[in-house]
Amino acid sequence: MEDYLGNESFDYRTEFLSPALSKLQNGTMEARQPSWRINMDRYHLPERNMNSHFGFGFLVKTLRRERRLTKYYNRQERVLQGYQEVDSFTELGALPNSLTEEETKKLDKGVRAAIYASNVCNMLLFVAKLFASIESRSLAVIASTLDSLLDILSGFILWFTSYAMNKPNLQQYPIGKNRMQPVGIVVFATVMATLGLQILFESARQIITKAEPDRNEEKERWMVGIMIGVTVVKVVLTYYCRRFKNEIVRAYAQDHFFDVITNSVGLASAVLAIKFFWWLDPLGAILIAVYTMSNWARTVMDNVWSLIGRTAPAEHVAKVTYMIWNHDERIENINTVRAYSFGSNYFVEVDIVLPEQTPLPLAHDIGESLQLKLEKLPEIERAFVHVDLHADHIKLSHNQN
């Protein structure tokens, strides 16, 4: 052990990164062979101890600080989890919790079933709500019905993007069609926001002109029963679609959840307008329209950011850097690690430095194997690996430009 610590002939990677000891099966300790890989198993987040003092002044003083600390620790936990995934991939050749081919086929069947069930239910519920809108003439129910019409339109858009993504055409789309998914969501969200604006204007007009609608108790009872049934079905669909990790199915889950809220507000507004004040009905329609536009405006912005090439979060970049450094002991330096969004996933650009005497076939194999390894990460769609012989190569070329 002392010889190992005092030996200066080891590579600096080995001296800095290697764990020193390991336990044998009989419980004795033995020096472990030096390893050039970073080992993050021994690093853990410290336990956080909250101060036991209480009082209003203490809570006001520390509330913001605790929020920042919580955010920081959550981010560090994600970084360590990324390192553990890389270690599992290096040791086992597969990511933890990765699915087999048979399990993937079963999952694909489940995704198709969820999309099919959502589309069929949306069509049936739209017909039911259309009947309730015609019979009750409630503006809040009409707003909710238009939202259901948008569900059908969104279902078609998301189904089309899913179908197109599963039909590759390397001649016309050499890097795939994964960008169709966020584009489809942006188109759908824009349409929803536009129709929500129309409902907003109509509701405001009805309140300003004091156009009180006619009432029919029997038709209103039909409306209440239909809206309750529609809301229950949407709650079931929300929980069902949230079980999947597929982005398209999760978009359906988000849409179903929005419908639960809009249906509840529409039903409550219509019932309160019947029992108390007529203007509560258009007011509920305004609330539904504002809620719809605000939610889908955020959806548009999220998908726009993913399409314009925004930098990946720091924990993703750290995970990629960790995998690169542990890939091969001949990597002397990492010049560049750049990860940016290009649709739902990320593109990665990497510049590594190998020794000058590295044979060309070996340098090619190291770079290609690193590219394939990076592209196996679920959040990475494409990886580009560039091999340099000098750490200052990129800096010099940039200065010349």
Do 341 and 310 contact (CB within 8 A), yes or no? Answer: yes
Q: What angle do CA 145, 146, 147 make, to 5 degrees?
A: 85
* Predicted local confidence at residue 290, as pLDDT: 81
Strands 21-23 and 380-388: unpaired
pLDDT > 70? residue 273: yes
Say what the pLDDT of residue 218 is.
Answer: 66
Contact present, 204 and 290 (Cβ < 8 Å) = no
* pLDDT classification of 398: cutoffs 50, 70, 90: very low
Secondary structure class of 18 (helix, strand, coil)? coil
**Domain 314-400 in the same topology as domain 108-307:** no
Predicted TM-score of the model (pTM): 0.57
Parse the chain into domains and list their residue ranges: 2-92, 108-307, 314-400
CATH superfamily of 108-307: Cation efflux protein transmembrane domain (1.20.1510.10)
| Better-scored residue on pLDDT, 396 or 156 | 156
- Which tens digits make up the pLDDT trace of 123-144? 888 888 788 777 777 777 777 7
Q: Which residue from 129, 355, 356, 123 is spatially nearest to 230, judged by alpha carbons? A: 129
CB within 8 Å of 300: residues ≥ 6 apart: 186, 189, 190, 193
Tell me the CA distances in angstroms from 161 to 66, 238, 247, 263, 271, one per residue in order: 42, 21, 12, 27, 39
Q: Which two tokens stand for residue 287?
A: 């609330």
pLDDT interval class at 107 (50, 70, 90): low
- With cut-offs at 50, 70 and 90, classify the pLDDT of residue 332: confident
Where residue 20 falls among pLDDT bands split at 50, 70, 90?
very low
* Tens digits of residue pLDDT in 147-193: 777 767 766 776 776 677 667 666 666 666 667 677 777 777 777 77
Largest CA distance in the chain: 95
Q: DSSP label at 389?
A: S
User: Which residues contact residue 257 at a Cβ distance below 8 angstroms, ignoring those fewer than 6 apart?
Assistant: 234, 238
More confident call, 375 vs 189: 375
Residues in the chain: 401
Do 143 and 262 contact (CB within 8 A), yes or no?
yes
CATH of domain 314-400: 3.30.70.1350
In the block, residue with structure tokens 């589309």? 119
Kind of pairing, strands 333-341 and 346-353?
antiparallel
Model pLDDT for residues 211-264, shown as the tens digit of each residue: 666 666 666 677 777 788 888 888 888 888 877 776 667 777 877 787 787 788
